[in-house]
């Protein structure tokens, strides 16, 4: 009889934890927003025809929980042409060492993105060299893995600048 009671308690605890996770995932998916705050040119290597951009992501937390970001996978498109994919990862950092996103606040995370020149992006490349980052039509899209104490929730974003 004790074994059956213990099994029922274990199943109840498992179901409560599962239900909490399902509720939390829905709340995070609705209440956390990933945006691109800015893009700037960090470096141009004319010898190798490469450029490095700094992309600042804003993670806005509208929940009552403190969250962290474990990874951001993203694709960079300029003037309708894909420049490449990259990621920003904190997966090798302990949960307590990752950048926190506090309740009702926005945290900025910066990522460097390096790409090569090719003739299909000539116009955008020349505007960027002149410092006209705003003159380029940007589309940054991807997924951010948002972590709570209980789960990891993927939040997608598709930003046009």
| pLDDT tens per residue across span 79-129 | 999 999 999 999 999 888 899 999 999 999 999 999 999 999 999 999 999
Distance CA 20, CA 15 (A): 9
Give the 3-state secondary structure of residue 126. helix
Domain assignment of residue 60, given as a range: 2-160
Number of domains in the chain: 1
* pLDDT tens track for 5-63: 766 667 666 665 555 555 566 677 789 999 999 999 999 999 999 999 999 999 999 99
Return the SS3 of 122.
helix
Enclosing H/E stretch for 152: strand 152-160
Q: Which residue has the tokens 């995070």?
A: 28
CATH assignment of the domain containing 123: 2.60.40.1470
Question: Phi first, then psi: what are they for 135, rounded to 5°?
Answer: -80, -5
């Amino acid at each position: 009889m004790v074994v059956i009671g213990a099994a029922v308690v274990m199943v109840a605890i498992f179901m409560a934890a599962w239900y909490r996770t399902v509720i939390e995932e829905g709340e995070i998916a609705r209440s956390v927003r990933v945006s691109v705050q800015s893009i700037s040119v960090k470096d141009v290597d004319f010898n190798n025809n490469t450029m490095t951009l700094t992309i600042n992501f804003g993670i806005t937390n509208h929940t009552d929980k403190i969250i962290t970001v474990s990874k951001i996978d993203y694709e960079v498109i300029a003037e309708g042409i894909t420049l490449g994919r990259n990621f920003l990862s904190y997966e090798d950092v302990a949960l307590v060492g990752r950048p926190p996103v506090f309740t009702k606040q926005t945290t900025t995370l910066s990522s460097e993105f390096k790409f090569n020149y090719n003739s299909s992006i000539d116009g955008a490349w020349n505007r960027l060299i002149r410092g006209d980052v705003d003159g380029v039509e940007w589309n940054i899209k991807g997924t951010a893995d948002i972590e709570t104490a209980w789960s990891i929730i993927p939040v997608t974003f598709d930003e046009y600048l």
